[in-house]
């Protein structure tokens, strides 16, 4: 079989959303799986609605996600140019071919394509056999001389040697027009594969660009890892037979094929994405995590100020204990606020819960004295052992001390391990915060 050539053909008329990214990805995966070529073609004939800004976002998002193209804008190739706005001469040739074959006629200034009216049979790799019959001639060149989408799309697929058309199911209804045109031009039909739609997280209907979580760029800005976003996108409509979810890209490439693509629509699930991101974050070497966190903080002045309010070593230590706890880097500024300032808010729920039973202030006073008596809090095991021994000799449990300790030094009831927090904050700061809490405890909400 000849080499597979697939294309991703976006129109730069809006920000790059996950539906487009997923279409790009399935094409890219198929090319990489088969050792074929992944072509990027820009369908920018609609001058009014295209913008260079959108185009740049397409390029940068594809690169961020690791989808390198083998031919296309910025890198060229043997079948260029790769922007439709630069291919008018080619379209004119094909319009002439259709005229010569007596398949075009002029009506009211536009050129119409004379359909065959024969049933068009598409052996879709995902949908199975689809049959449709075009019933009406359609315009292929508008009265202003510009060729329509159906024509340029088909001409490009022919002239770029595209073997497989992998695109969203919303294009299935166009395919019979395309096969009519392909046949009229004497071109072989490519293999079609129409991928299922992505449904919005809540409620019915297709996910739109306006839905929360729809833009690829957002994930980049929020400090998501591209490998987790790619992994998530793969699972929107494809799954390997063993239902495994987290997979490195090399494994996805080797396993990806059309039989694994579902016919039913895929539902977008932001929690699943966050969960996947968390498990990728966990695996990241701590230096890489630190570098990502630094980039994220540096990108926003407010966050950059938090980072520069502490030493580099201290920031690194805070990152090390936060890494296993967060779902995305974007959570870090709020998550670590108490490490970087003595002014942190009291979480009302945590306050209420901690003061619900027992005598938390008495326990805190005992713990504060214990910690104040240590040389340092650097040895987490020693601190934990000392706390346990004290709890036992006072007839209490370790848990009686933990929640109030955490509350008094962090303002909340979740976070890294308590002895990790002690170690990183250091003895002076921990004891001082506990003293302050004891001297003037915050008001407990009713």
Nearer to ligand GLU, 43 or 71 (CB): 43
Q: Binding of ligand GLU at residue 84 (CB under 6 A)?
A: no
Q: Is the peptide bond before 11 cis (omega within 30 degrees of 0)?
A: no
Residues belonging to the chain? 446
Helix (H) or strand (E) holding 430: helix 427-439
Cβ proximity to ligand GLU, 42 vs 266, nearer residue: 42
Q: How far apart are CA 313 and CA 339, in angstroms?
A: 13
Residue 153 C-beta: closest distance to ligand GLU, Å = 5
- Which CB, 9 or 404, lies closer to ligand GLU? 9
Q: Give the interface segment with ligand GLU, choosing from 5-13, 133-141, 269-277, 304-312 (CB under 6 A).
A: 5-13
**For residue 34, what are the CA distances in angstroms to 116, 167, 171, 262, 344?**
35, 17, 24, 20, 55
Q: Does 167 bind ligand GLU (CB under 6 A)?
A: yes
204 vs 200: CA distance, rounded Å:
7
Tokens 């204990």, residue located? 321
Beta carbon of residue 10, minimum distance to ligand GLU (angstroms, whole number): 5
Residues 40-59 that bind ligand GLU (CB under 6 A): 43
Residue 137: name the closest of 173, 170, 101, 104 by CA: 104
Q: DSSP per residue over 181-208, as a string?
A: HHHHTTPPPPEEEEEPPEE-SSSSSB--
| Closer of 9 and 293 to ligand GLU (Cβ) | 9
Are the C-beta atoms of residues 310 and 339 closer than 8 Å to each other?
yes
Q: How far apart are CA 98 and CA 60, in angstroms?
A: 38
Cβ distance to ligand GLU smaller for residue 23 or 323: 23
Choose between 192 and 219: whose C-beta lies nearer to ligand GLU.
Answer: 192
The single residue among 5, 6, 10, 230 that binds ligand GLU, judged by CB under 6 A, is: 10
List 33, 97, 171, 246, residue binding ligand GLU (CB under 6 A): 171
Report the nearest approach of ligand GLU to the CB of residue 235 (Å): 21
Instruction: Tell how strand 266-267 and strand 198-199 pair up.
Output: parallel
Which residue, 154 or 336, has its beta carbon nearer to ligand GLU?
A: 154
Q: What gap in Å lies between CA 48 and CA 32, rounded to an integer? A: 35
Q: Which stretch binds ligand GLU (CB under 6 A): 164-172, 218-226, 368-376, 437-445?
A: 164-172
Total residues at interface with ligand GLU (CB under 6 A): 8
Binding ligand GLU (rule: CB under 6 A), the pick from 4, 11, 30, 40 is: 11
Tell me which of 9, 31, 329, 364 binds ligand GLU, using CB under 6 A.
Answer: 9
- Sites for ligand GLU among residues 101-160 (CB under 6 A): 153
For 200, phi and psi rounded to 5 degrees? -70, 155
Q: Which is nearer to ligand GLU, 152 or 390 (CB)?
A: 152
**Unique residue bearing structure tokens 């932001």:** 270
Residue 175 interacts with ligand GLU (CB under 6 A): yes or no: no
Minimum CB separation of residue 167 from ligand GLU in Å reads: 4
Q: In the bound complex, what is the minimum distance in angstroms from residue 197's beta carbon to ligand GLU?
A: 13
Calculate Rg over the CA atoms of the chain. Answer: 30
Within 8 A by CB and 6+ apart from 257, the residues are 30, 33
Degrees to nearest 5, angle at CA 192 with 190 and 198: 150
CB of 217 to ligand GLU, least distance (A): 17
329 is an interface residue for ligand GLU by CB under 6 A: no
Q: Say whether residue 163 binds ligand GLU (CB under 6 A).
A: no
Matching residue, tokens 């409509």? 237
- Please state the closest distance from residue 17 (CB atom) to ligand GLU, in A: 11
**Interhelix angle 18-34/226-234, nearest 10 degrees:** 80
Residues that bind ligand GLU (CB under 6 A): 9-11, 43, 153, 165, 167, 171
């Amino acid at each position: 079989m000849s080499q597979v050539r697939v294309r991703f053909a976006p129109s730069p008329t809006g920000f790059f959303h996950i539906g487009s990214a997923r279409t790009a990805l399935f094409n890219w995966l198929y090319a990489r799986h088969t050792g074929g070529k992944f072509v990027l073609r820009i369908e920018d004939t609609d001058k009014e609605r295209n913008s260079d800004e959108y185009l740049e976002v397409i390029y940068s998002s594809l690169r961020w996600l690791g989808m390198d193209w083998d031919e296309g804008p910025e890198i060229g190739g043997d079948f260029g140019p790769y922007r439709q706005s630069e291919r008018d001469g080619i379209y004119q040739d094909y319009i002439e071919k259709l005229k010569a074959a007596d398949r075009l006629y002029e009506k009211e200034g536009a050129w119409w394509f004379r359909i065959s009216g024969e049933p068009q049979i598409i052996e879709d790799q995902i949908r199975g056999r689809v049959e449709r019959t075009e019933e009406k001639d359609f315009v292929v060149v508008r009265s202003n001389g510009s060729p329509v989408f159906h024509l340029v799309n088909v001409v490009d697929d022919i002239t770029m040697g595209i073997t497989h058309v992998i695109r969203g199911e919303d294009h299935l209804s166009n395919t019979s027009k395309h096969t009519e045109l392909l046949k009229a031009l004497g071109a072989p039909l490519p293999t079609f594969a129409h991928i299922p739609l992505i449904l919005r997280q809540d409620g019915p209907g297709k996910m739109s660009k306006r839905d929360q979580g729809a833009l690829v760029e957002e994930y980049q800005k929020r400090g998501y890892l591209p490998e987790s976003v790619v992994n998530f996108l793969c699972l929107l409509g494809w799954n390997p037979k063993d239902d495994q979810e987290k997979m490195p890209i090399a494994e996805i490439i080797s396993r990806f094929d059309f039989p694994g693509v579902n016919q039913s629509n895929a539902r977008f699930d932001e929690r699943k994405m966050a969960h996947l991101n968390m498990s990728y974050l966990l695996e990241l070497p701590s230096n890489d995590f630190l570098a990502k966190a630094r980039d994220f903080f540096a990108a926003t002045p407010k966050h950059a100020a938090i980072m520069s309010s502490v030493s580099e070593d201290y920031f690194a230590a805070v990152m090390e204990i936060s890494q296993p706890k967060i779902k995305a880097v974007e959570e870090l500024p709020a998550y670590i606020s108490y490490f970087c300032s003595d002014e942190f808010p009291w979480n009302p729920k945590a306050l209420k819960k901690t003061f619900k039973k027992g005598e938390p202030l008495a326990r805190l006073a005992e713990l504060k004295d214990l910690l104040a008596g240590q040389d340092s809090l650097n040895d987490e095991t020693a601190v934990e052992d000392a706390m346990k021994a004290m709890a036992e000799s006072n007839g209490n449990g370790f848990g009686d001390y933990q929640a109030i300790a955490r509350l008094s030094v962090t303002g909340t009831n979740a976070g890294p391990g308590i002895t990790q927090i002690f170690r990183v904050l250091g003895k002076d700061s921990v004891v001082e915060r506990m003293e302050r809490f004891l001297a003037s405890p915050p008001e407990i909400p009713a």
